[in-house]
């Protein structure tokens, strides 16, 4: 896959925006070490619009920057974020979301896809990696993963949907000129 200037710019801007949202727009959840994060809506937008490579690298780099700014790198959650960006980008291609007309049907398909991928990544990938890499307790880590899946899917449903609709409106307006 060719890395065009546009794709490299999308990865860089996406990673920086992911970092800024993840570092400074944080809502604590009732579960220890789990936050309600709006940056996954942005990552979903990038994955659907620019594809799986952009989603993977934006999520990976952005999450590394967030963890680095706190002084502790957590590879299990970083890799789950990268997996979310990549898997959603692949799934968006499979169900033909990229370049689609954004109507009610497309929004439902987008949200079904993003919820499924959040569950896979946060209730599956992250907890399994936590146990394998860090020897975490199964009880605690699956509770955290499920909480993150629900919180991230909810914020993605709002933020991701708004970004995709805004992007579609801007695209249709510029192509009408």
Total tally of structural domains belonging to the chain? 1
Q: Which domain holds residue 26?
A: 5-176
168 pLDDT band, cuts 50/70/90, is: confident
CATH number of residue 149's parent domain: 1.10.1760.20
- Of 147 and 96, which is predicted with more confidence? 147
134 pLDDT band, cuts 50/70/90, is: very high
Burial code of 79-103, b = ≥16 C-beta within 10 A, e = fewer?
bbbbbbbbbbbbbbeeeebeebebe
CB neighbours of 117 closer than 8 A, spacing ≥ 6? 84, 87, 88, 91
122 pLDDT band, cuts 50/70/90, is: very high
The pLDDT value given to residue 175: 64
Question: For 37, phi and psi rounded to 5 degrees?
Answer: -120, 125
pTM over 0.85: yes
Query: Quick check: 2 pLDDT over 90?
Result: no
**Per-residue pLDDT tens digits for 67-101:** 999 999 999 999 999 999 999 999 998 888 777 68
């Amino acid at each position: 896959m060719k890395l065009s200037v546009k794709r490299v710019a999308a990865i860089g801007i996406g990673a920086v925006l992911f970092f800024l949202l993840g570092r400074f727009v944080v809502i604590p959840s009732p579960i220890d070490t789990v936050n309600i994060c709006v940056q996954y809506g942005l990552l979903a937008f990038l994955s659907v619009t620019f594809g799986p490579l952009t989603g993977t690298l934006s999520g990976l780099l952005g999450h590394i920057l967030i963890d680095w700014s706190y002084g502790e790198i957590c590879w299990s959650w970083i890799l789950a974020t990268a997996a979310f960006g990549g898997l959603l980008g692949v799934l968006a291609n499979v169900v033909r979301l990229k370049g689609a007309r954004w109507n009610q049907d497309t929004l439902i398909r987008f949200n079904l896809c993003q919820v499924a991928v959040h569950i896979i990544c946060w209730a599956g990938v992250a907890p399994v990696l936590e146990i394998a890499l860090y020897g975490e307790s199964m009880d605690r880590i699956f509770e955290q993963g499920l909480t993150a899946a629900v919180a991230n899917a909810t914020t993605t449903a709002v933020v991701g949907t708004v970004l995709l609709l805004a992007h579609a409106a801007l695209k249709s307006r510029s192509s009408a000129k």
